[in-house]
Amino acid sequence: MHVPALSHLHAADPDVAALVEGEAARQHGKLRLIASENYVSPAVLEATGSVLTNKYSEGYSGRRYYEGQQFVDPVEDLAAARARSLFGVEHANVQPYSGSPANLAAYLAFLEPGDTVMGMALPMGGHLTHGWSVSATGRWFTPVRYGVRADTGRVDLDEVRDLALRERPRLIFCGGTAIPRTTDYPAFAEIAREAGAVLVADIAHVAGLIAGGAHPSPAGHADVITTTTHKTLRGPRGAMIMTTAEHASAVDRAVFPGLQGGPHNHTTAAIAVALKEAAAPEFAAYAHQVVANAGALAEALLERGFDLVSGGTDTHLILIDLTNRGVAGKPAAKALDAAGVELNHNTVPFDTRKPFDPSGLRLGTAAITTRGLTESDMPRVAGWIDEVVKAHEDEALLARTAAEIGAFMAARPMPGWAPTP
């Protein structure tokens, strides 16, 4: 049950309550390796569920279009001040509804329709909103794309520079959704300067690692930093845009009134709480443990013959190329899910299979580290993955593994929920 219990929800709507409890039990009993997911604290859950959801507050602190902002203004001020202090930036906008709208705001702030934007190609590890064709950002702007080298699995900065100087994008995105290695922000900043482009560092995946000092920061290098707040940063679903003072008003205008109406004040409060948590020494220890766990898991997977894109990881994220294992990403991910290991199928760079059924698996250690797993647990995790990938059609093995993992996770408390005794 939820702790504290969701007594009103159970009384008013048993159907929804049952689904919520079912989802919680699922999160409790599984090895959650989806690289973009985590478990938030009970304090973040409470802020998210607070009466701030009742309030409209279009505009910005001190300049609202509705009355009654005596408490919402200080909440938003606090969240923004904590973001500035934690990430060492001049300005923070905490209103974007999520990562994708935050990136869209960067387009609106700096580009006209048809202008050129450069980002990492989606199948190479970029995000849809970095100019991929099915996204509005790829349809309404002119995308040029960089990737990684086939031999190293890493971004080739010379190739990025050549492309930028040839295509002259007005906006360059660095960062992505499936990048196991450190992003070189100073090098991207240099390229953007040479090309006369605005550099956006999208740190959605690594924001928590940056906050905890376990990944370099783009602050002082990128003109604009966009991030979600719910991945390694371990806050509510939401986003922020951080900028230099120079770009502050362009970005603010793009978020409101450019793209959004009223901000989600309950989310803003929860972001403030998460940012306070992320500034504590225990969070730095957490961020370093996330990276140590990913390194240990990569090591253990390599020992079992898995082929990792770029040969390993510097972050929370690992990308497995299953080509040498004779199984595609999707059936492997489905079998792993049935066996209690939750992750997602993913394209790998230069994938020879279709995006709908690609060759890779993406996994990350942010959530399992919140549950208290350490390096010494990683060989066991790799063992489960290896056995299931080997025998992915063996239903008895999948059921046995799911039970084993359920028992293993039962000893590791989950924030905000506990099994009914």
Contact flag: residue 344 with ligand PLP (CB under 6 A): no
Is the CB of 138 or the CB of 175 nearer to ligand PLP? 175
Residue 345 annotated as lining a ligand binding site: no
Contact flag: residue 232 with ligand PLP (CB under 6 A): no
Contact flag: residue 205 with ligand PLP (CB under 6 A): yes
Question: Residues in the chain, how many?
Answer: 421
Evaluate the omega torsion of the peptide bond into residue 113 and state whether it is cis, within 30 degrees of 0.
Answer: no
Residue 128 annotated as lining a ligand binding site: yes
CA distances to 80, 213, 272 from 281, in Å: 20, 10, 17
DSSP state of 57: -
Contacting ligand PLP within 103-122 (CB under 6 A): 103
User: What is the rounded distance in angstroms from the CA atom of residue 304 to the CA atom of residue 285?
Assistant: 28
Q: Active-site residue 202, yes or no?
A: yes
Contact flag: residue 21 with ligand PLP (CB under 6 A): no
Sign of dihedral through CA atoms 157, 158, 160, 161?
A: positive
Is the CB of 137 or the CB of 310 nearer to ligand PLP? 137
Kindly write out the interface string for residues 364-403 of this chain, putting x where it contacts ligand PLP by CB under 6 A and - elsewhere: ----------------------------------------
**Member of 119, 169, 175, 295 binding ligand PLP (CB under 6 A):** 175
Segment contacting ligand PLP by CB under 6 A, of 82-90, 99-107, 242-250, 392-400: 99-107
**Member of 177, 232, 293, 346 binding ligand PLP (CB under 6 A):** 177
Q: Active-site residue 232, yes or no?
A: no
User: What is the rounded distance in angstroms from the CA atom of residue 229 to the CA atom of residue 335?
Assistant: 30
Residue 126 annotated as lining a ligand binding site: yes
Sequence-ordered alpha helix ranges (H) in 2-117:
7-12, 14-29, 42-48, 72-87, 99-110
User: What is the rounded distance in angstroms from the CA atom of residue 152 to the CA atom of residue 378?
Assistant: 25
Residue 373, exposed/middle/buried by CB under 10 A (0-12, 13-18, 19+)? buried
Segment contacting ligand PLP by CB under 6 A, of 57-65, 95-103, 190-198, 333-341: 95-103
Q: Active-site residue 276, yes or no?
A: no
Residue 127 annotated as lining a ligand binding site: yes
Residue 59, exposed/middle/buried by CB under 10 A (0-12, 13-18, 19+)? middle
Minimum CB separation of residue 239 from ligand PLP in Å reads 6
User: Which pairing describes strands 116-120 and 171-174: parallel, antiparallel, or unpaired?
Assistant: parallel
Active-site residues: which are they? 56, 58, 202, 228, 231, 237
The annotated binding site for (6S)-5,6,7,8-tetrahydrofolate is made up of 122, 126-128, 246
